[in-house]
Amino acid sequence: MADTRRFEGHGVLITGAARGIGAATARRLAEEGARVLVTDRDGPEAERTAAELRECGLAAEALGCDVADRASVEAAVAHAVAAFGSLDVLVNSAASCTPDTDLVEDGTDEAWDRDLDVTLTGTYRCCRAALPHLAATGRGAIVNVGSVNALQDFGNHAYSAAKAGLGSLTRTLAGHAAPRGVRVNLVTPGTVRTSAWEGRDADLDAVRPLYPLGRVGEPEDIAAAIAFLASRDAAWITGTTLTVDGGLTAVNTGFLAAVRHQSEA
């Protein structure tokens, strides 16, 4: 349980919140006093997550929302405002990541378009619908969820391009929204133990040594960073990217290990 109540009385909408980072963020903000709308394209799973929060005495509702559909996004924003009386925080966690083909020339327009439409344009749709309501509260905050894929090559061409686009969108929206009292920031996670890695413990064990802090991330690690950026503790922070990756992009552990091996040989 969080030690503070930074979001007492805040209305919060989180996309992609049925599981993983989105679900952990819903729990973290609700523990700090927020009333949370858990949205996801998988409506029943969103309701399961919200029900788990309610069983813990936390304030949560659920709604099916497809960020690739403008009407669905606008309905979710309207639902949050009607249910909570205000919308103070928007967390854009929904994303699509289609596995790459072996050769880029075998990729399809449909797969490329889907990843960009959900991950990048979906975030834009949510920000566009939410901004007037966030501005009305005088304390509005948007936190977008990016990826280290935007910073280095970790595969997934379309997903990586979309996540890189979120960096630019975050900065331009920050400049646009600042005069209206709304802050916009980006959190950039490294490898996080979510359902995307289910059944792939060997892969997680293989990448663990690449992380200077000695482990992959947990959804709660990212939720804590999102909570900070969304809170008044970050009142003078906007347009920034907070990288939460255990040191992965700061330290080339593979290079250092190779050099040390050679020097010891």
Q: Are 154 and 105 in contact (CB under 8 A)?
A: no
What is the distance between the alpha carbons of residues 251 and 248, in angstroms, rounded to a whole number? 6
Indicate the burial class of 205 (C-beta count within 10 angstroms; 0-12, 13-18, 19 or more): exposed
**Token representation of residue 178:** 């600042």
Instruction: Identify residue 188 by its one-letter amino acid code.
Output: T
CA dihedral 127, 133, 136, 141 (to 10 degrees): -40
Residues with catalytic annotation?
Answer: 159
52 half-sphere exposure, CB direction, 13 A CA radius? 14
Indicate the burial class of 232 (C-beta count within 10 angstroms; 0-12, 13-18, 19 or more): exposed
Rg over alpha carbons for the chain, rounded to the nearest Å, is 19
Give, in degrees to the nearest 5, the angle at Cα 141 between 119 and 60: 80
Beta-bridge mates of residue 192: 217
